[in-house]
Amino acid sequence: MKLDLSRLPVGEMVVGFLIVSLLVTFILAFTLVGSDTDVTDEGVTDVTSTPVLGSADITMGDNFFDSNDITVAAGDTLTFNLTNEGAAVHNMHIAQPDGNYSDDGVCELDGADPCSDPNAVTSGQTAVLEWEVPDAPGTVISFRCDFHPDVMTGTLTIQ
């Protein structure tokens, strides 16, 4: 009888402990879900990236731009400093705000589209592209390498 009496409270304590454990687990689970939601909100905030101002460094490889999704500021005078770390010839050619490239082939320095100087950047060489960012927030403008226009592309999002 005494053994039964001592076992019962222990059993209740174990059951009680399990119930409390379950409650704590649920509370923590909901707390973590809440945290995840906060992280998502922060992620959404990060999507609206801080625009580059004044200048930006871009490395060109075979066949890619190391930065191909760049946020820029409307009305900014922006200088892209390009370095060709690839073996192939590359360049940077920015489309018109309507999405079209005025220069069909390799862009010309005195052409309508913003074009890197030089317009053909050999391996190891650097180039510069100065660009007056259109005062058109929300516009997304494409850029490309004229030597690899199908794979070597990027976007400039005006903010």
Q: List contacts with Cu ion (CB under 5 A).
A: 63, 90, 145, 147-148, 152
Residue 25 structure tokens: 């687990």
Give least dist CB 73 to Cu ion, A: 26
Residue facing Cu ion at closest CB distance: 145
End-to-end CA distance of the chain: 80
Beta carbon nearer to Cu ion, 93 or 148: 148
Q: Are 46 and 84 in contact (CB under 8 A)?
A: no
Determine the Cα–Cα distance for residues 95 and 113; give it in Å rounded to an integer: 6
Beta carbon nearer to Cu ion, 59 or 63: 63
Give least dist CB 42 to Cu ion, A: 35
Beta carbon nearer to Cu ion, 119 or 141: 119
Reported in sequence order, the residue ranges of 18-134 that DSSP labels E, i.e. its strands, are: 55-61, 64-65, 69-72, 77-84, 93-94, 126-132
Q: Are 58 and 128 in contact (CB under 8 A)?
A: no
Beta carbon nearer to Cu ion, 51 or 86: 86
Q: Are 115 and 103 in contact (CB under 8 A)?
A: yes
